[in-house]
Structure 1
Amino acid sequence: MKQNKYDDSGFFANYSQMPRSIGGLNAAGEWPVFRSLFPELRDKRVLDLGCGFGWHCRYARQQQARSVVGIDLSENMIVRAREHTDDPAIEYRQLAIEDIDFPAEEFDVVISSLALHYVERFDIICRKVHQYLVPGGSFILSVEHPIFTALAAQDWYYGAQGERLHWPVDDYQSEGLRQARFLDHDVTKYHRTIETHLNALIDSGFRIKRISEPQPSPETIAAHPEMKDESRRPIFLLIAAVKD
């Protein structure tokens, strides 16, 4: 199923008010770690799967990437990305991740930020990306952490006084569709274990270079005390892989 919640006017309005939607990459807590996984981008051909507002596409060009293609299923996302981009070396296409079709060895780097947990067949995307990358090419991706997606509720277990007692994990090994609540809307996500993520990449011919489960820095927590509980469980899983 190809889900396009971002063209729902109410959902998109809520999403547009998120800090990362307003402040860009520097407002995304995982960005410093995600950025550290990138290879050298100078003179590289880059593909961004689920490009959203185009933040990563513009960053790649700031790092002197030769060309960037950003794809997203949402017309709203693509329109916003084009409005904030004045660079002929960046091309945006309205296209579902599931429908990507490029020539073999078309790209040097493929990135995807917080989009692939909306895609049902991660293994198929891994095989396609492997085909589209040159030998030695990099696939850098982030998804919601399986600890976070295992239960559709995606919420803490609270005590009698409303205190956060713990983050519940159940049905972790039961992979598949989850109907989650995000920005006051029902959203379809797909839960996969860490094992499945890594083995799908390995089986497609990738070598795993690094994984990360980033948490807020002490400086971030000091500046934003409301984030102190975010180090009690991971929110994101970041993976850097290479096509040998």
Structure 2
Amino acid sequence: MRFCSIASGSSGNCIYVGSEETHVLVDAGISGKRIEQGLNQLELTGNDIDAILVTHEHSDHVSGLGVMARRYHIPVYTTGGTADAISRMKNMQKLPEDTFHEIEEDQDFHIKDLTIHPFSIPHDAAQPVGYRLECQDKAVGIATDLGKYNKYIVDNLQNLDALLLEANHDIRMLQVGSYPYYLKQRILGDRGHLSNENAGRLLCRLLHDDMKAIFLGHLSKENNYEALAYETVCSEVTLGDNPYKSKDFKIQVAKRDSISDVVML
């Protein structure tokens, strides 16, 4: 199993997960050209992609979806609410009728040798989900765009080999920054985004001896920066109520404009 971020940040997100025989993208929120470039670095092309899994309809997750789906006739898997919201977007109305494959939260589905488990996430979108993807005895998780976390989300992210987790903002940077009040309240709310501190606290509940890699993703361009996200999450892990130190794990920040390290499981 291979896992990496092609791009991650408030400006665009695209994650690759694959096995020897199956290749999927989670979200396509950057240009088709950039997705192609990322795939080329993995020695793949759009023709190799078996499916695109969409978390929700916000532009930083779907801006390149129409181009990729039309060009390569790639099936798109997402919830009914998200498919409906995407279908009403101007640049998505020319998608072939059979593009969307409707999935439901907590109902596993299969793409070749990958088992995919979508789970509900609290975010201000139509019907958003995170994903857990498994192949044989390996599992990876993708959890971004969370206003908060709860036992249900913790349960869905247990026993992972690798994880991409949102560390969207530093609370103080957001509070004193230039965003209008309503937007600050939206981001800080229960259907907004996960702060660095909360990302670290959630991670403390997911760590185990066999966790191979953690990517911190979906960083805000205006209200965070890589070193701050990394240091805050590491501090929460090291000082938190768990038996681990941050140096026990490979924790890294997923870049907004370049491909991450490729995790081989």
Q: Give TM-score scaled by structure 2 length.
A: 0.39
Q: Where is the helix percentage greater, Structure 1 or Structure 2?
A: 1
Q: Give TM-score scaled by structure 1 length.
A: 0.41
